[in-house]
């Protein structure tokens, strides 16, 4: 007689049994919620490609912060849309820049909320690149210059720490940015402020909606000389290794869904917390399919976030954070 000798289904028989043997459990503590802040008054404007995500002016930010806290989330990642852009992104490191103002306000309303500042120049430069652009005289080609960009990044990080940021998250992918920022923060008296490095950031098509939202698309060329080739994973190890050596406190992989293998690898290879960035187009695709009635949004979101955590993410930056936190609490 032939019958199964192994019965894996025994542990799946009831909901209680399944929860008893569940290996990965999502929690609102895992989530970081990104917020876009803009100048102006009484602005709460939905980003067309990101339903449920808004541009908020400072006077509408407090209600958003209250909502984030009510959902049970303890951390936000702030992005700013400046009034003026120039070649050197001067408003990125202005003490009264949009991000600096927002950090100060949020820390005043909610001192316990962990405020993370994205440290980059692309929202603030008129050319939309993440560093200073130099034009080669001989060839006429434009290049993003690594070393001269570092100084501006350091100034940006210090101004964000001075405003009260709890974590600095440099995202511009210049070589040496973690070391430069660590030294700069230490010298400015912020040796206790951790760096969450966008260590492994791919040159991805999944940032499209974000660039619409942050008005940060490059005006010429692309980001492929500083962001990574999606085909590479050994290079991801080199990026993470140098960040660890330079003093990063946490490592990030971005985007998340197409790079779960990279999340797993970093988790296995390093002892630092690993963050996954569930980026804008990953959000937009779910929203679009759900709006068409093609998928069950709640189930799909919780399944994908669980997948990121199962792959090794200790933290997940996601635009779904508020919804997911409420679903986990059993609220609609």
CB-nearer residue toward ligand PBG: 190 or 207 = 207
Stretch that binds ligand PBG, among 40-48, 185-193, 209-217, 233-241 (CB under 6 A): 209-217
Tell me which of 44, 85, 107, 201 is the catalytic residue.
Answer: 201
Stretch that binds ligand PBG, among 2-10, 16-24, 62-70, 210-218 (CB under 6 A): 210-218
DSSP 136-163: -TTT--EEEEHHHHHHHHHHHHHHHHHH
210 belongs to the binding site for ligand PBG (CB under 6 A): yes
Rounded to an integer, what distance in angstroms lies between the CA atom of residue 60 and that of residue 124? 22
Task: Evaluate whether 88 touches 132 at the Cβ level (below 8 Å).
Answer: yes
Among 119, 149, 280, 304, binds ligand PBG (CB under 6 A): 280
Rounded to an integer, what distance in angstroms lies between the CA atom of residue 187 and that of residue 170? 18
Interaction with ligand PBG in 164-183: which residues (CB under 6 A)?
Answer: 171-172
Closest separation between CB of residue 191 and ligand PBG, Å?
25
Please confirm, yes or no, whether 201 is among the known catalytic residues: yes
Rounded to an integer, what distance in angstroms lies between the CA atom of residue 177 and that of residue 171? 9
CB-nearer residue toward ligand PBG: 250 or 271 = 250
155 belongs to the binding site for ligand PBG (CB under 6 A): no
Binding mask 93-122 for ligand PBG (x = CB under 6 A): -------------------------x-x-x
Q: Which two tokens stand for residue 39?
A: 């100048």
Provide the b/e sequence for 8-43 (b: ≥16 CB within 10 Å): eeeeeeeeeeeeeeeeeebebebbbbbbbbbeeeeb
Rounded to an integer, what distance in angstroms lies between the CA atom of residue 208 and that of residue 215? 10
Q: Residue 219 CA to chain centroid, in angstroms?
A: 22
CB-nearer residue toward ligand PBG: 101 or 156 = 156
Task: Evaluate whether 316 touches 276 at the Cβ level (below 8 Å).
Answer: yes
53 belongs to the binding site for ligand PBG (CB under 6 A): no
Please confirm, yes or no, whether 254 is among the known catalytic residues: yes
Annotated ligand binding at 234? The verdict is no
Active site residues: 201, 254
Binding site for ligand PBG (CB under 6 A): 118, 120, 122, 130, 171-172, 207, 210-211, 216, 279-280
């Amino acid at each position: 007689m032939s019958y199964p000798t192994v019965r894996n289904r025994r542990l799946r028989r009831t909901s209680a049994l399944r929860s008893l043997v569940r290996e990965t459990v999502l929690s609102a503590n895992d989530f970081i919620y990104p917020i876009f802040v803009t100048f102006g008054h009484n602005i709460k404007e939905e980003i067309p490609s990101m339903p449920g995500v808004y541009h908020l002016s400072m006077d509408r930010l407090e209600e958003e912060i209250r909502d984030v806290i009510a959902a049970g989330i303890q951390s936000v990642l702030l992005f700013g849309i400046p009034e003026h852009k120039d070649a050197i992104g001067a408003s990125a490191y202005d003490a009264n820049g949009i991000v600096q103002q927002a950090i100060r306000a949020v820390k005043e309303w909610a001192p316990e909320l962990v405020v993370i500042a994205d440290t980059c120049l692309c929202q603030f430069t008129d050319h939309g690149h993440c560093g200073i652009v130099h034009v080669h005289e001989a060839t006429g080609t434009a290049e993003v210059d690594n070393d001269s960009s570092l100084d501006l990044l350091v100034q940006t990080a210090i101004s964000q720490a001075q405003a009260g940021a709890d974590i600095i998250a440099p995202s511009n992918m210049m070589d040496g940015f973690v070391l430069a920022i660590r030294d700069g923060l230490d010298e400015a008296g912020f040796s206790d402020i951790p760096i969450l490095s966008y260590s492994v950031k791919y040159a991805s098509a999944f940032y499209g909606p974000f660039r619409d939202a942050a008005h940060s698309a490059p005006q010429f060329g692309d980001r492929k000389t500083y962001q990574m080739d999606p085909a590479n994973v050994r290079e991801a190890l080199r990026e993470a290794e140098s960040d660890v050596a330079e003093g990063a406190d946490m490592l990030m992989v971005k985007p998340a869904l197409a790079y779960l293998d990279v999340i797993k690898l970093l988790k296995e290879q390093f002892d630092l917390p690993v963050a996954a960035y569930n980026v804008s187009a990953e959000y937009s695709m779910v929203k679009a399919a759900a709006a068409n009635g093609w998928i069950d949004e709640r189930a799909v979101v919780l399944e994908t976030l669980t997948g990121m955590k199962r792959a090794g993410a200790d933290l997940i930056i996601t635009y779904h954070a508020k919804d997911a936190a409420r679903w986990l609490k059993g609220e609609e």
